[in-house]
Amino acid sequence: MIDLHTHSRVSDGTLSPAELVTLAASRGVKVLALTDHDTLDGLGSARDAAAGMALRLVNGVEISVTWEHKALHIVGLDVDVIHPALTAGLARLQAVRDERAREIGKRLEAKGIAGAYAGAEAMAQGARLTRTHFARFLHRAGHVKDEAQAYKKWLGRGKPAHVNVTWASLKEVLGWIHAAGGQAVLAHPFRYGITRSWLIKVLTAFKQAGGDGMEVVSGRGNPDELHTALHLAQRFELAASVGSDFHAPAPYSQPGITVELPANVPAVWSRFKN
Ligand code: AMP
Ligand code: MN
Ligand code: MN
Ligand code: MN
């Protein structure tokens, strides 16, 4: 089993990096990338935890991009965690994140939801704020019936507490990942809520800008999506990556993916140097 897209509580997951590594190893994951949102901070303790385990830890990060007014997620894999281009770029995105979180808090307050910013901070336990933390707060405080409804009602695109921000450009992010010696992978291609023709535009721009791979399995995935994704990977000459996008243990959500790739689609993990 392999898993090249997972989160810890350093961003919006619920497990510590060490707990994630231990869970993945116990499930038989042999190659694991921790890919927290716009931060490399969990990788040190994940590496310590992986020492002596039959699991290869890959340095990863999931980076927020704005492309044509849309938010895209690019996973950087096998990166050098101290490369200054990458660390400076991520520091800039964390500043965008902090400012956006303040604004989300203000908008929720203006709609009568008291203590939203502080509530999200309490959920984050020291991590930089993501929308997930606001969704958890809204759910726990009884403002929505589940986290999915938090996006539908408040945090999703076009909803009252959705704050448009400009993340980094596609070109910048591919530059940071490549400077740090890594592979750049388009995350969860079918989760952007865009039409098929927009997805083709995204893949065209991504490939043209030097993108290396795309996820052909994301989360639970499904056979239709795998089939379509493999077809697109071949068409755009992108390597295949697979990831659970694991955030929290649940019956339907665990780290580890089993996949067999056809001979005409190379595995991105065959290109890792470390
Ligand atoms: P952010 O990067 O702060 O905008 O937060 C994005 C994160 O929110 C994603 O990585 C998901 O973990 C979560 N998320 C976004 N949309 C949804 C949704 N509709 N349902 C559940 N989680 C979502
Ligand atoms: Mn997330
Ligand atoms: Mn994502
Ligand atoms: Mn993710």
User: pLDDT tens for residues 135-172?
Assistant: 999 999 999 999 999 999 999 999 999 999 999 999 99
- Eight-class DSSP state of 268: G
For residue 223, pLDDT beyond 90: no
The stretch 36-59 carries a mean pLDDT of 97
Closest residue by CA, ligand 1 atom 13: 132
Average the pLDDT over 112-127 and give the result: 96
Best probe residue, ligand 1, of 96, 130, 154 (max atoms within 8 Å of C-beta): 130
Q: Which residues contact 127 (CB under 8 A, 6 or more apart)?
A: 9, 10, 11, 12, 133
Mean pLDDT of 119-133: 96
Instruction: For the full predicted model, state whether its pTM sits above 0.85.
Output: yes
State yes or no: pLDDT of 109 exceeds 90.
yes
Question: Is the C-beta atom of 246 inside 6 A of ligand 1?
Answer: no
Q: Of 12, 39, 123, 220, which is best to mutate to test ligand 1, by the most ligand atoms within 8 angstroms of its C-beta?
A: 12
C-alpha 71 – ligand 3 centre gap (Å):
9
C-alpha to C-alpha distances, 246 to 95, 117, 179, 250, nearest whole angstrom: 25, 25, 27, 10
Tell how far the Cα of 104 is from the centroid of ligand 1, in angstroms: 14
Cβ–Cβ under 8 Å, residues 73 and 44 = no
The fraction of the chain above a pLDDT of 70, given in percent, is 100
Is 80 exceeded by the pLDDT of residue 221?
no
Ligand 1 neighbourhood includes 12 CB (under 6 angstroms):
yes
The residue whose CA has the least distance to atom 17 of ligand 1 is 151
Answer yes or no: is pLDDT of 212 > 90.
Answer: yes
Q: Is the pLDDT of residue 222 over 90?
A: no
Q: CB of 14 closer than 6 A to ligand 1? A: no
Look at the block and give the residue holding tokens 């969860």: 188
pLDDT band at residue 220 under the 50/70/90 scheme: confident
pLDDT given at position 269: 98
CB atoms within 5 A of ion ligand 3 belong to 73, 187
pLDDT (average), residues 68-84:
98
Tell me, using a 6 A CB cutoff, whether residue 37 lines ligand 1.
yes
Average pLDDT over residues 3-9: 98
- How are strands ordered across the β-sheet holding 31-34? 2-3, 31-34, 56-67, 70-77, 183-186, 213-218, 239-243
